[in-house]
Amino acid sequence: MPSNPTPVLAINALSAQIGRQGVLRDISLEISAGDWLAVVGGSGAGKSTLLRLIMGLRRPARPTSGEIVFDGDRWDCLSPKAPDRRGIALVPQSPAHGFDPLRRLRWQWQQLARRKSPLSAADQNAVLHALGLPALAESFPHHWSRGMQQRLLLAMALIERPRLLILDEPTSALDPLIAAQVLEEVRKTAQSQGIPVLMVTHDLALAAQFATKIAVMAQGALVESGPTERLLSDPQCAYTQDLVAHRHWQTTFHEVRRAAE
Ligand SMILES: Nc1ncnc2c1ncn2[C@@H]1O[C@H](COP(=O)(O)OP(=O)(O)OP(=O)(O)O)[C@@H](O)[C@H]1O
Ligand SMILES: [Mg+2]
């Protein structure tokens, strides 16, 4: 995979297991400013486990080897010391894990905005608006649909202006049209601020539209990776070939294409 001189995130030979089951096998990846890396792969491939380890969370998967370098700070995954991950904004796979169910959304937004966002209140509200969200008012998380919760988590990640943005299935509750519009907003911010994006997705159409690089995982291993165009037009390994040939992807891809026209 071609890479820029100084990656924001570098994962070197990371392996991990849960109990005796190996869940990550010798994963190496790099992400630099300007990159949007999509990690694709079947359910149980280890994608969320990889993200948790990047965040320094060693449960339930325990690393057995590897190091992760973020912003020049090298973390040996076997060392007992926890890494500093304040520069990373992570949008979790389940919106339910992103909110305190007992606090109003406005309160949660304001807490994050006050502690972590360099933006003015007006610019923060513009992000909500750009993602098609209403005023937060007195709502609790359960008052909002999963799709709205997912968009709010993305808005929270964007107003942080992180040094790395990590998205775990960020549009799973959104229809293809809204998903593409929302990720377009993410792209605008990421590009204008030079924030690299690491996105886990099942949706190859979205990966095709937004990612500059794609990494394919199967059974805990990285089976193939490369620039988006190359990987989709000339997949090398059988698993990627199956993924690319799958009809569902092609249907969704054409829907997104049509919607964008
Ligand atoms: N809490 C847990 N206890 C035991 N095994 C787990 C646990 N969490 C994950 N695993 C196992 O680790 C492996 C990787 O899971 P992971 O959640 O990382 O997959 P994923 O690629 O994110 O899947 P999905 O696309 O469904 O989100 C799977 O074999 C899974 O069964
Ligand atoms: Mg997952």
Over the chain (261 residues), the average pLDDT of each successive run of 10 is 74 97 98 96 94 96 98 96 96 89 96 96 95 89 93 96 96 88 95 96 90 96 96 93 76 61 65
Name the CATH code of domain 1-84+202-261 (choices 3.20.20.150, 3.30.70.360, 3.40.50.300, 2.40.50.140): 3.40.50.300
pLDDT at residue 246, rounded to an integer: 79
Residue whose CB lies within 8 A of the most ligand 1 atoms, among 47, 172, 201, 217, for a mutation test: 47
Asked if residue 46 has its Cβ within 6 Å of ligand 1, the reply is: yes
Strand order in the sheet with 62-70: 73-76, 62-70, 9-18, 21-31, 221-227, 213-218, 36-41, 197-200, 164-168, 88-91
pLDDT at residue 3, rounded to an integer: 47
pLDDT at residue 137, rounded to an integer: 79
pTM for this prediction: 0.92
What is the spatial distance between Cα 259 and Cα 128, in angstroms, rounded to a whole number?
A: 22
pLDDT at residue 96, rounded to an integer: 83
Whose CA is closest to 23, among 230, 244, 217?
217
Phi, psi of 113 (to 5 degrees): -60, -45
Asked if residue 48 has its Cβ within 6 Å of ligand 1, the reply is: yes
